[in-house]
Amino acid sequence: MTVNKTLPTNYVTQPGEIKSSTGKTIRTDEMIINMGPQHPSTHGVLRLEIVVDGEIVVDVIPHIGYLHRCFEKHAEHMNNYQQVIPYADRMDYLASMNNDWGYALAVERLLKLEVPPRVEYIRVIMAELQRIASHLIALGTYGIDMGAFTPFLWCFRDREKILDLFEMTCGARLLYNYIWVGGVSHDLPPKFVAQAKEFCAYFKPKVKELNDVLTYNEIFIKRTANVGVLPADVAVNYACSGPMLRGSGVNWDLRRDDPYGVYDKIDWQPQVGKGEMGTVGDCWDRYIVRVREMLESVRIIEQALAALPEGNVQAAIPKRIRPERGEVYVRTESPRGELGFYVISDGSTTPYRVKARAPAFVNLSVLPEISRGCMIADLVAIVGSVDIVLGEVDR
Amino acid sequence: MTPQEIHDNLRAKFADAVVEAKLDALQPWIRVAANRTREIALFLRDEPSFQFDFMSCLSGVDYNDGNLGVVYHLFSMVHKHKAVIRVTCPKDNPHIHSVHDVWGTANWHEREAFDMYGIQFDGHPDLRRILCPDDYPGHPLRKDFQVPEFYNGMKVPY
């Protein structure tokens, strides 16, 4: 497979030259400017070194690491496998539940541990609620990047309801430390199921409202369609995952293709980009994949709530975690894509090595590839559509 | 393909480069020679029966026996099979071929492994530190790494 390096045709100009209004050719020089680390559209502390020729981006060099906290070194120095979970929380702070689950699942595979069915269902419910919350932030802030402020407030209003559900379950609103190796920290409170059902019924019409105000907005489509096109072969070569990969038309979702939890017992469909407003793999496709995934998540939550079995959620939590020597790489589908944990055990109670394969890190590495030749303003659209969380990029 | 078949086919093509394999492990792995990595990677990606087009993860490891290692977790979107390829190199002279032109994603992963373990990826176009500051002393994920007392004249409170 070869990586396609051609640019989208609507941007192609002769480098180093522009045409003036009188038709004369004017020589231009390249200039290097910084976008970030403090810039509202980089969604955190990301510095982009941009080589520009007039308004046209010739090259982008991302500089990351401003939030590096040495997750992997910390994990090697814990006394216990469970103690790593609060650190995993803080990687992708918008999707802590999914991070916890990814790590817990890796250790469970290492221990060959089966968790009770009730735990599996609770985890699916929590992970999908978290996916909606995370996508809401992604879509809301993407609206702000494009100059639409209202959808941002609506998204945060709906996200509050999810955080309320998390708060009544485990007391925390952002960093939960909820999913443990072998179980979860608290059983669902009595009112949870009713309130979650209420949320599902409440949320579905809200997605239509979001579509009306932002998704099918003429200006929004003009800003995002045909911008930052990521062809499927480049996406696979750069190991993009999640909405990035599905936006490029690749029907690939780990919840279906490498199943974990109880996703295989639930009826749902992965969403892929079809190029409805422009080219397959443009920013609008990545955006709409997230919108439709929220509705699929609601479907999953409703089915999981209906099938929720009874049981003790802490029955399988091991008193002492001491896996045999060995190693395991487990990947789960976080809101941003393939979240992998590579855990090596040396037979002691401390992990020998924990490597986190952060989806945002990998997705960001394709940025130079898809933004060469675009306008500076479009770069904002492209960075927003990648949906990075710098806590996870830098770990 | 099963791990056994992958191993057999790889050994048939690169008899001298497949050093070691553990096929009964939780996730079977194959260890190949460090100086043949790129060649083997190209073969794994392009051979029609393998087609490992998706590199999930590239991890550096310090085995704490004088060796550093790199582990490639490969996956095929076409055939839906997985492979774990390992490479090791001595800690005092860690050199491994870069595979950035085989899988584009390897570029940043290799920079991270260089940053954290000091593994030199020969042929990498831009082997700079990626997460730590450019002037950081040492490679923090090595098992013998000592947290420096001072960094740029500032006391490290740790």
Q: A46-64 pLDDT, tens per residue?
A: 888 898 887 888 889 899 8
pLDDT score of A17: 62
- ipTM, two decimals: 0.89
Tell me how close the Cα of B11 comes to any Cα of chain A, in angstroms. 23
Q: How many helices (H) and strands (E) does chain B have?
A: 3, 9
> % helix / strand / coil in chain A, to the nearest 5?
45, 15, 40
Q: How many contacts (CB atoms, under 8 Å) link A and B?
A: 83
Report the residue of chain B nearest A1, measured CA to CA.
B46
Separation CA A71–CA A78 (nearest Å): 11
Chain B neighbors of A331, CB-CB under 8 A: 56
Report the residue of chain A nearest B57, measured CA to CA.
A357
Tell me how close the Cα of A72 comes to any Cα of chain B, in angstroms. 8
Chain B neighbors of A66, CB-CB under 8 A: none
Across chain A, what does the average pLDDT equal? 86
Would the pLDDT of B12 be above 70?
Answer: yes
Residue B155 makes CB contacts below 8 A (sequence gap 6+) with B149
Chain B neighbors of A340, CB-CB under 8 A: 56-57, 73
Residue A227 makes CB contacts below 8 A (sequence gap 6+) with A278, A282, A283, A284, A374, A378, A381, A382
Separation CA B82–CA B77 (nearest Å): 9
Chain B neighbors of A365, CB-CB under 8 A: 104-105, 107-108
Classify residue A18 by its DSSP letter: E
Query: What are A213-244's pLDDT values in tens digits?
Result: 888 888 889 888 888 888 988 999 999 998 98
Nearest by CB: B105 against A238, A252, A328: A238
Mean predicted confidence (pLDDT) in A2-23: 53
pLDDT score of A65: 87
Mean predicted confidence (pLDDT) in A90-116: 90
Query: What are A340-377's pLDDT values in tens digits?
Result: 999 999 888 888 999 999 999 999 999 988 888 888 88
Residue A268 makes CB contacts below 8 A (sequence gap 6+) with A255, A296, A299, A300, A303
pLDDT score of A10: 42
pTM for this prediction = 0.87
Confidence of residue A20 (pLDDT cuts 50, 70, 90): low
Question: Inter-chain contact B108–A328, Cβ cutoff 8 Å?
Answer: no
Residue A174 makes CB contacts below 8 A (sequence gap 6+) with A93, A96, A163
Report the residue of chain A nearest B106, measured CA to CA.
A238
SS3 call for B118: coil
Separation CA B155–CA A51 (nearest Å): 37
Report the residue of chain B nearest A342, measured CA to CA.
B59
Chain B neighbors of A64, CB-CB under 8 A: 130-131
